[in-house]
Amino acid sequence: MVKPIKLTKDQTEFVQVDGLEKHFDASKPFLTRILNREDRQILRAVDGVSFKIPRGTTFSLVGESGCGKSTIARCVVGLYQPTRGSVQFDGVDIAGLSDKQIMPYRRRFQMIFQDPYASLNPRWRVEDIVAEPILEHRLITGKKAVRDRVDELLAQVRMTARDKEKYPHEFSGGQRQRISIARALASNPEFIVCDEPTSALDVSVQAQILNLMRDLQLELGLTYLFISHDLSVVCHVSDFIGVMYLGRLVEAGRAETVLRTPQHPYSRMLLETIPSFEERGRERRAWSGEVPNPISPPSGCHYHPRCPFAEKRCSSEVPAPITIDGQRITCHGVQEGRLPSTVQTPDIQ
Amino acid sequence: MPLLNVENLRIEFPTRKGLLLAVDDVSFSIGEGEILGVVGESGAGKSLTGMAIIGLLDPPGQIGGGSITLEGRRIDQLPYEQMRRIRGKEIGTIFQDPLTSLNPLYSIGRQLIETIMTHTELSSHKARRRAIELLKEVGIPAAERRIDDYPHQFSGGMRQRVVIALALCANPRLIIADEPTTALDVSIQSQIIMLLKQICREHGAAVMLITHDMGVIAETAERVAVMYSGRMVEIGPTRQIVKQPSHPYTQGLMNSIPIIGANMDRLIQIDGSMPRLTDIPAGCAFHPRCEQVIDLCRQKRPELRNHAGSQAACWLVEEESPNG
C-alpha cells in the first residue's frame, strides 16, 4: 500500500526548489582518519539553493565546473536524495519520496545528459532505446502501437522512421543527442532537466539542437531546467537565469536583466570573460584567482578572495539575498550600494 | 620568407576500404611572431595538420603528399632522431588536456629541467634557475616553492600554465597550441589566452592556434584559416573573416554562434553535419549543406580564390586580382 502523498498549499509554481542542500562525505577512510587524527570532511556541493520555475518556461543554472549545478539537476529529478530542503514538483514535495512513491511522477519529468556517447546503450537499437520509457511506464500496449509511437517521436526530433533500425554508433553526436531527446519525450513529460545538452557538440550542430529544443517547448509546452557553463548559450534559451558559485546561488532573475545589468561581481566577471567578436585584441581586465577547493570554501561570501570590491564584512558574514526589481542578489556590496553601477556589456546592441 | 610554410599537404589513412583523405591539399604559411588561428568542427582535420607539422602523426595516418618547410628547411621527411631534436627546440606544443600532457609521476621541476637540458647546454643548476624563471613568467605564484610539486597538486589553469612553460623551455620559434583552453573554465580560459598572447609577444614566437572556438580566435589571432572536411575553405585576416565571411560555411558557422544580447528567436543553423571521410561528396565538400549551391559545386572542386582581402574556396566568390 502506497502512502498518500502530502500536498503542499502553494501550487502556482510548477517546480520549486527550497533551501536545497546536498552534502557529500569526502572523508578519508576510517583508519587513516583515526591515525592522522583528522575529522570527517563534508563537501557541501549544494548549500541552500532556492528557485522557482513557472510552467512552460526555461530556468538556467550557470557556473564553472564544481559549482554544484549538476548536483542540483540530479536532486531535482530524484537521482540524488537531498540532505536538506525540498523539491516541489507541481505542488508535491518529491525530495523525500521513496522509489515506489516517486514512480507516478517519474513519468512527468525526464533528463537529457551531456554526453550522447555515454548516455545511449551501444548494444540497443534506436527503437529499443526510445521505446524503453513507454514500456517501463506501460503507457502504450501492443507492438504495433509502440512502433508507431516511436516513429512519431523520431519525427518530432526531425529523424526518419528508418533510423530506428540502427545502432547509436551509426550516428553523429548531434543525431545521438536527438535520440536522447526522443527518449526523454517518450513518456510525455512536462518537465525536462537538460544537463549541458550541447557542450559536447560543435557550434553548427549546437544551433540545430538548441532550435529543436525551443520548437519542442512551444509545441508541447515543456518546462526546462537548463544547466550550462556557456553564458551565450544560456542567454539564448532562458527566461530565467541563476548564477552559481561554490554551491550557492549568487544571483537569479529574469534572463534579460541578469545579462544586461549583472549585479553580483561574479556574474559581472563571467560576462566580461566571454570572448568578443567586436574588439579583437582588447585588453581585458585580468581576473585573477580560481575557484577554491569546495571542501574548505572561504568564509563569509565564498567569492570574497577573488572579488575586487571585497571588504572586511565580506570575509566574515554570509550575505543574505536581497531583491531588486525581481533580481535576487547575494552580495554585501550590492546591498550597501557601494559597487559601481553596471556598464552595459559591449556585446549588447 | 615565412617561418613555416605548408604546401599542398595531404594526410591519408590506408584502410581496408581504401585510402581515406583526412587532410586534402591544405596550404598556408605562418610569419615570424604571427598568431594564426585554425578553426573547424571536430573531424575537420585541424589537429591532424598540427600533428603532421610536429611529426607526430599516429600510424596508420601518414603524409601522402605536399611539403612542410620550417625556416626554409623541409621537415616532413626527416628521420625520427632529427625530428625529435626539432620538436621542443624549434617547435613547442601545447595540448588540450594539461593533465595528460604532464607526467603524473615526476615533479613539474624535473619535467622542466629535463626539457631544458635536452635542448640547451645549461648545467642542471642553471637549468633549475631557468625553470623557476619560466614558472614566474607564466604566472605561477611562489615558483621557488612550487617547482617541486607534482601535477596533481595544481589546478587545471595552473597546469596549463606549466604546460606553456614547458613549451617555452628552449625558446622555440613556433608554438602549436591545440585547443589550449577547451578543458578550462571560462574565467580561467581568458587568463590563459591573455598569457599566451603576452608570452608570444615577448618571446617573438609564432603560434598556430587550433581551436573550435571562434571567440578565442577573434580575440587572439591576426589571421584565421577555416577548415571543413579536411580542406581549407577560407583564410584571411581575422577581422575580415569575423565581420564579412565569404565562404557560405564560414557564414553559417559565424551565424550559428549564440551572441549575448542579440534578440533572436531562433539561431541560424546549418542543416546536416560534416560528411564522414568515407563519403566525401564530389565537387565542393560543403555543397550538400549549402543553401546557395549551384550545379558547378556538385561537379568541380573550387580552389582558393582571392576575394576582399581574404581567400575563399567557393565558386560563388568573385575572383579578384591580388593587387586590386
Residue A343: pLDDT band by 50, 70, 90 thresholds?
A: low
Beta carbons of B216 and A275 less than 8 Å apart: yes
pLDDT for position A58? 94
Decide: B231 and B26 in contact? Cβ < 8 Å.
yes
pLDDT for position B323? 53
Range name among A1-15, A222-236, A260-274 with the lowest pLDDT average: A1-15
In a domain, B17, yes or no: yes
Is the pLDDT at A138 greater than 90? The verdict is: no
In a domain, B118, yes or no: no
Distance CA A92, CA A89 (A): 5
Q: Mean pLDDT across the stretch B242-246?
A: 89
Average pLDDT, chain B: 88
Cβ neighbours for A104, distance < 8 A, ≥ 6 positions apart: none
Is the pLDDT at A7 greater than 70? The verdict is: no
Beta carbons of A347 and B252 less than 8 Å apart: no
Residue A59: pLDDT band by 50, 70, 90 thresholds?
A: very high
Whether A21 contacts chain B with CB within 8 A: no
For residue B26, give its domain range. Answer: 4-90+170-312
A-chain residues near B273 (CB < 8 A): 172, 174-175, 204-205
Is the pLDDT at B130 greater than 90? The verdict is: yes
In a domain, B181, yes or no: yes
Decide: B3 and B173 in contact? Cβ < 8 Å.
yes
In a domain, B300, yes or no: yes
Is the pLDDT at B263 greater than 70? The verdict is: no
The secondary structure of residue A305, as a DSSP letter, is T
Is the pLDDT at A152 greater than 80? The verdict is: yes
Decide: A342 and A263 in contact? Cβ < 8 Å.
yes
pLDDT for position A186? 93
Q: DSSP letters along B251-293, please?
A: HHHHHTS--TT---SS-----S-PPPGGGPPSSSTTGGG-TT-
pLDDT for position A53? 93
User: For position B300, which CATH number holds?
Assistant: 3.40.50.300
Distance CA B79, CA B77 (A): 7
Residue A286: pLDDT band by 50, 70, 90 thresholds?
A: low
Residue A11: pLDDT band by 50, 70, 90 thresholds?
A: very low
| Beta-carbon contacts below 8 Å between A and B | 121
pLDDT for position A254? 92
Beta carbons of B185 and A65 less than 8 Å apart: yes
Q: Which of A251, A210, A208, A263 is nearest to A232 (CA)?
A: A210
pLDDT for position B140? 87
Domain count, chain B: 1
Q: Quote the ipTM score.
A: 0.78
Nearest to A174 among B157, B255, B273 (CB): B273
pLDDT for position B308? 77
User: What CA–CA distances, in Å, run from B285 to A116, A317, B22, B282?
Assistant: 26, 60, 12, 7
| Whole-model pTM over 0.80 | yes
**pLDDT tens column, B171-217:** 899 999 998 888 788 778 888 888 888 888 888 899 999 998 888 88
**pLDDT tens column, A99-131:** 888 888 888 999 998 888 888 999 999 999 999
Collapsing DSSP to helix, strand or coil, B296 comes out as helix
Q: Which residue of A has its CA nearest to B238?
A: A280
Whether A348 contacts chain B with CB within 8 A: yes
pLDDT for position B137? 87
Cβ neighbours for B64, distance < 8 A, ≥ 6 positions apart: B10, B11, B12, B19, B21
Cis peptide before B248 (omega within 30 of 0): no
Pairing mode, if any, of strands A223-228 and A191-195?
Answer: parallel
Q: Where are the domains of chain A?
A: 118-188
